């Protein structure tokens, strides 16, 4: 099993796709946003009522009822009417789905949110956090009982093809095989590495030094500049029409 | 095999079209049938694009795009059955009492776990104040003794009633939900909270009675108690049912067994919560009112008859139809 935070879903018609499962930090941020919204809503209502009614006890009572309704009803309402997204989840592009990738129903939402009572224990979702940490799909108790997952839904775009600057010279490519023998996951690693824009030059160099020698040895070239070598290698791989080394082309 | 760029260029218009349809969100369901059929067609095409892209080893960004598109299309096209208001009515009229009757043994167990410690707490607190102070914090003991010594003959302000109703809703339903939710720890949490609440309530009653204000206490609590105490016990029952699903799995995995019984469990908890809302209203307005004691006792009798007959008889007709599908074995 690959060590990443995705999970594969197979639908009844045998379509398979992968979800990126949301981790604790992202979910915590969404929770804080929701908490803030609920707090502000109760506060705003309190101010309005205090002006309108003036009776401190009655205002307190109504605020308690509203706080209660929000505490238990907020998530159920937004998750059912907003296709599995509370406002905080929406802000962090999270969505609650059933384990099979289906939308959650009212009952699922009620159940997963009722179980917050157990996840919250002893204080501040400690049990929930421990349970999530022990699950490959980051499900808290409520998610497990209701059979739901929280996934990240980010729009991705087809990136522009990678370019190599300056353009490779014939001398540089000397000794590279026409079709470098790389497995699909090695090619993927290479591409993901080259697409990383957030690396510092030193880190980029460091990473390249870790992988370049092994690949260079396999294809029998000597490496002067590891970063450049990886770019050249990718260039050569991309130029051949991406056949999969370990599979018969379809 | 096609090069990636050619593949992307050829398929991109379809992907963009699907993206646009999905961007409508809930509006998607109001589209004319043609558009929905079109979305379904592209969704199937996207699924095969995805498999093709995986087999051909296209770059991760293309795979990620198709994964996301397929996942969102699937989520939108296979929408959950809409929740109708009628289902709420059915829950109250039939599902809740039926489910409780089906788990009568667990209910009896929960009653015992609540009542026996209650009797113990009552007897202990009647006999020795020190015993009660072991269970209850000293300040709240004094507060309660004062409150019940005074009685409720005078009634109180409407604003205070509203405040207390809010407090009861927030506090009591919270306790019920906790009593239920902690049942996920093999039922232990529910057992603990049932025993703890029984003991506390018993001790308070014993203490107040020992101080000679038993009549005031009884008059105050008798009516809403019918709803409140029953509901707390039902929430505990739901927790125990949930915990037991982890023990007796009927051939499923523990999690599968829990999920299979989840629906019945929700019926119980939501039912209990609704009963607690009724209780909070009574406790805030009726119980502390200045009505004569006899009227309140009469109200209590009506309340108990109502609760007992509701839980015993509601939803009996047509019960066969409503047996849960969840019980079917795989």
* Contact residues, chain A, for B173 at CB < 8 Å: 68, 72
The model's confidence at residue A233, banded by pLDDT at 50, 70 and 90, is: confident
User: How distant is the Cα of B178 from the closest Cα of chain A, in angstroms?
Assistant: 5
The answer on B239 and B130 residing in a single domain is yes
Residue A32 reports pLDDT greater than 90: yes
Domain that holds residue B24: 4-77
Tens of pLDDT, residues B125-156:
888 888 888 887 777 777 777 777 766 656 66
* Contact residues, chain B, for A67 at CB < 8 Å: 170
pLDDT above 90 coverage of chain B, percent: 18
Question: Of the residues B27, B48, B77, which one is the last residue of a structural domain?
Answer: B77
Q: Do B177 and A154 touch (CB under 8 A)?
A: no
Q: Do A101 and B163 touch (CB under 8 A)?
A: no
Q: Which of A68, A101, A157 has its CB closest to that of B75? A: A101
Chain centroid to Cα B239, Å, comes to: 10
* Contact residues, chain B, for A241 at CB < 8 Å: 1-3
Enter the tokens of residue A132: 């999530």
CA R_g for chain B: 28
The contacts found for A4-11 with CB under 8 angstroms, 24 or more apart, are A5/A138, A7/A136, A7/A137, A7/A149, A9/A99, A9/A100, A9/A101, A9/B71, A9/B74, A11/A100, A11/A101, A11/B74, A11/B78
Q: What mean pLDDT comes out for the span A6-26?
A: 83
Are the C-beta atoms of residues A5 and A23 closer than 8 Å to each other?
A: yes
Instruction: Write out the H or E segment, with its range, that includes residue B75.
Output: helix B60-77
Tens of pLDDT, residues A46-74:
888 888 877 777 788 888 888 888 888 89
User: How distant is the Cα of A188 from the closest Cα of chain B, in angstroms?
Assistant: 7
Q: What DSSP line would sit under B206-248, residue for residue? A: HHHHHTT-HHHHHHHHHHHHHHHHHHHHHHHHHHHHHHHHHH-
Per-residue pLDDT, A247: 44
Tens of pLDDT, residues B261-277:
888 888 898 899 889 88
Spatial strand order in the sheet of A94-98: A6-10, A16-21, A148-152, A94-98
- Lowest-confidence region among A85-94, A161-170, B209-218: A161-170
B74, B176, B244, B261: best mutation site toward chain A, by most A Cβ within 10 Å? B74
pTM, two decimal places: 0.74
CA R_g for chain A: 26
The model's confidence at residue A249, banded by pLDDT at 50, 70 and 90, is: very low
Per-residue pLDDT, B109: 95
B44, B66, B162, B189: best mutation site toward chain A, by most A Cβ within 10 Å? B162
Per-residue pLDDT, B29: 76
The model's confidence at residue B81, banded by pLDDT at 50, 70 and 90, is: low
In our burial notation (b when 16+ CB lie closer than 10 A, e otherwise), range A148-168 reads bbbbbbeeeebeeeeeeeeeb
Distance CA B218, CA B79 (A): 51
Q: Do B159 and A161 touch (CB under 8 A)?
A: no
Ramachandran category for residue A221: left, alpha or beta (phi over 0 → left; psi -120 to 50 → alpha): beta
Distance CA B330, CA B317 (A): 28
What are the φ and ψ backbone dihedral angles of A223, each rounded to 5 degrees? Answer: -105, 125
The answer on B323 and B291 residing in a single domain is yes
User: In sequence order, which residues have a C-beta less than 8 Å from that of residue B221 and are 6 or more positions away?
Assistant: B287
* Number of domains composing chain B: 2
The answer on B160 and B300 residing in a single domain is yes
Chain centroid to Cα A139, Å, comes to: 14
Q: Do A117 and B180 touch (CB under 8 A)?
A: yes
Distance CA B255, CA B135 (A): 36
The answer on B73 and B108 residing in a single domain is no
Distance CA A71, CA B160 (A): 23
Q: What mean pLDDT comes out for the span B248-261?
A: 86
Q: What mean pLDDT comes out for the span B101-106?
A: 92
The answer on B168 and B20 residing in a single domain is no
Distance CA B114, CA A85 (A): 39
Average pLDDT, chain B: 83
Question: Of the residues B60, B77, B94, which one is the last residue of a structural domain?
Answer: B77
User: How distant is the Cα of A225 from the closest Cα of chain B, in angstroms?
Assistant: 25
Supply the ipTM of this predicted assembly: 0.76
The answer on B229 and B320 residing in a single domain is yes
Strands A148-152 and A94-98 come out as antiparallel
The model's confidence at residue B80, banded by pLDDT at 50, 70 and 90, is: low
Q: What mean pLDDT comes out for the span A143-151?
A: 89
Residue A242 reports pLDDT greater than 70: no
Tens of pLDDT, residues B196-250:
989 988 888 888 888 888 788 888 888 888 888 999 999 999 999 999 998 888 8
Question: Of the residues B30, B56, B77, which one is the last residue of a structural domain?
Answer: B77
Residue A250 reports pLDDT greater than 50: no
The answer on B165 and B109 residing in a single domain is yes
Tens of pLDDT, residues A193-203:
887 777 888 88
3-state secondary structure B104-173: HHHHHHHHHHHHHHHHHHHHHHHHCHHHHHHHCCHHHHHHHHHHHHHCCCCCCCHHHHHHHHHHHHHHHH
* Contact residues, chain B, for A157 at CB < 8 Å: 61, 65
Average pLDDT, chain A: 82
Enter the tokens of residue B98: 């039926």
In our burial notation (b when 16+ CB lie closer than 10 A, e otherwise), range A71-83 reads bbebbbebbbebb
User: In sequence order, which residues have a C-beta less than 8 Å from that of residue B95 and are 6 or more positions away?
Assistant: B267, B271, B315, B322
Distance CA B70, CA B34 (A): 20
The model's confidence at residue A75, banded by pLDDT at 50, 70 and 90, is: very high
Are the C-beta atoms of residues A151 and B72 closer than 8 Å to each other?
A: no
């Amino acid at each position: 099993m690959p060590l990443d935070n995705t999970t594969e879903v197979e639908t009844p018609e045998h379509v398979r796709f992968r979800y990126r499962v949301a981790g604790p930090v992202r979910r915590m941020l969404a929770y804080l946003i929701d908490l803030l919204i609920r707090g502000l809503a109760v506060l705003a209502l309190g101010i309005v009522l205090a002006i309108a009614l003036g009776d401190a006890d009655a205002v307190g009572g109504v605020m308690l009822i509203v706080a209660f309704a929000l505490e238990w009803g907020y998530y159920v309402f937004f998750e059912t009417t907003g296709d599995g997204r509370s406002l905080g989840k929406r802000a962090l592009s999270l969505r609650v789905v059933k384990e099979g990738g289906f939308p959650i129903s009212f009952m699922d939402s009620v159940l997963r949110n009722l179980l917050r009572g157990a996840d919250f224990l002893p204080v501040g979702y400690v049990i929930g956090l421990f349970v999530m940490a022990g699950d490959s799909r980051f499900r808290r108790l409520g998610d497990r009982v209701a059979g739901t997952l929280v996934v990240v839904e980010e729009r991705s775009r087809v990136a522009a093809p990678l370019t190599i600057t300056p353009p490779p010279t014939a001398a540089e490519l000397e000794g590279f095989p026409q079709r470098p023998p790389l497995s699909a996951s090695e090619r993927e690693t290479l591409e993901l590495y080259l697409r990383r824009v957030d690396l510092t030059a030193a880190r980029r160099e460091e990473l390249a030094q870790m992988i370049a020698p092994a690949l260079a040895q396999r294809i029998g070239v000597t490496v002067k500049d590891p970063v450049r070598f990886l770019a050249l290698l990718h260039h050569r791989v991309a130029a051949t029409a991406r056949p999969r080394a370990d599979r018969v082309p379809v | 095999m096609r090069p990636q760029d050619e593949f992307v260029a050829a398929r991109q218009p379809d992907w963009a079209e699907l993206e646009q349809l999905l961007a409508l969100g809930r509006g998607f369901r109001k589209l004319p049938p043609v558009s929905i059929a079109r979305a379904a067609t592209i969704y199937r095409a996207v699924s095969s694009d995805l498999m093709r892209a995986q087999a051909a080893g296209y770059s991760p960004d293309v795979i990620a795009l198709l994964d996301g598109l397929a996942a969102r299309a699937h989520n939108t096209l296979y929408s959950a059955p809409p929740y109708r208001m009628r289902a709420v009515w059915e829950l109250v009229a039939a599902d809740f009492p039926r489910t409780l009757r089906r788990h009568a043994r667990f209910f009896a167990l929960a009653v015992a776990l609540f009542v026996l410690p209650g009797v113990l707490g009552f007897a202990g607190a009647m006999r020795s104040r020190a015993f009660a102070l072991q269970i209850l914090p000293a300040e709240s003991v004094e507060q309660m003794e004062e409150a019940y010594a005074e009685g409720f003959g005078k009634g109180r302000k409407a604003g205070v009633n509203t405040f207390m109703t809010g407090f009861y809703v927030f506090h009591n339903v919270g306790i019920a939900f906790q009593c239920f939710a902690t049942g996920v720890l093999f039922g232990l949490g529910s057992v603990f909270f049932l025993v703890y609440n029984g003991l506390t309530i018993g001790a308070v009653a014993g203490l107040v009675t020992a101080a000679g204000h038993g009549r005031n206490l009884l008059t105050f609590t008798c009516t809403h108690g019918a709803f409140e105490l029953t509901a707390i016990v039902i929430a505990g029952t739901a927790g125990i049912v949930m915990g037991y699903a982890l023990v007796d799995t009927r051939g499923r995995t523990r999690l599968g067994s829990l999920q299979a019984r989840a629906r019945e469990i929700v019926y119980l908890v939501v039912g209990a919560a609704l009963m607690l809302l009724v209780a909070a209203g009574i406790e805030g307005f009726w119980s502390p009112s200045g009505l004569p004691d006899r009227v309140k006792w009469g109200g209590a009798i009506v309340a108990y008859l109502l609760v007992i007959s509701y839980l015993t008889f509601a939803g009996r007709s047509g019960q066969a139809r409503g047996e849960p599908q969840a019980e079917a074995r795989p």
